[in-house]
Amino acid sequence: GENVGLHLPTLSVQEGDNSIINCAYSNSASDYFIWYKQESGKGPQFIIDIRSNMDKRQGQRVTVLLNKTVKHLSLQIAATQPGDSAVYFCAENISNFGNEKLTFGTGTRLTIIP
């Protein structure tokens, strides 16, 4: 399944399939991006990050792709599991004279169907 931009805040995927969550960020000066997973009743949990001088980064079962030309970020989760069900936020960081400000996207709720 694929979520295009922020217009579809929910995404349902069959267990074992791959999922793609998309995010459009706003500021071309953003230099660092993070994906977080937030389960019910918990704080955001770091998944993976990428700096603006890269276009792809891989972790365990997750890949982040960055397209600076169109200001687009995506999170790919391979072989989804029930524990992947959560709300996923992208966050963009803007550095200004040593200060950092992290701004979160609106989030996508991912539901894994057993």
For binding to another protein (CB under 8 A), which residues are involved? 31-32, 34, 36, 41-46, 49, 51, 89, 93, 95, 98-107
The least distance separating another protein from the CB of residue 20, rounded to whole angstroms, comes to: 20
Whichever of 2 and 31 has its CB closer to another protein, that residue is 31
The least distance separating another protein from the CB of residue 23, rounded to whole angstroms, comes to: 11
Whichever of 98 and 114 has its CB closer to another protein, that residue is 98
Integer Cα distance of 18 and 84 in angstroms: 11
Whichever of 46 and 82 has its CB closer to another protein, that residue is 46
The least distance separating another protein from the CB of residue 16, rounded to whole angstroms, comes to: 28
Whichever of 1 and 104 has its CB closer to another protein, that residue is 104
* 77 close to 98: Cβ distance less than 8 angstroms: no
The least distance separating another protein from the CB of residue 17, rounded to whole angstroms, comes to: 25
Tracing tokens 């704080």 back to the chain, one arrives at 43
Compute how many other C-beta atoms are within 10 angstroms of the C-beta atom of residue 92.
Answer: 22
Query: Which phi and psi angles does 55 have, rounded to 5°?
Result: -120, -5
Integer Cα distance of 55 and 52 in angstroms: 7
* 87 close to 75: Cβ distance less than 8 angstroms: no
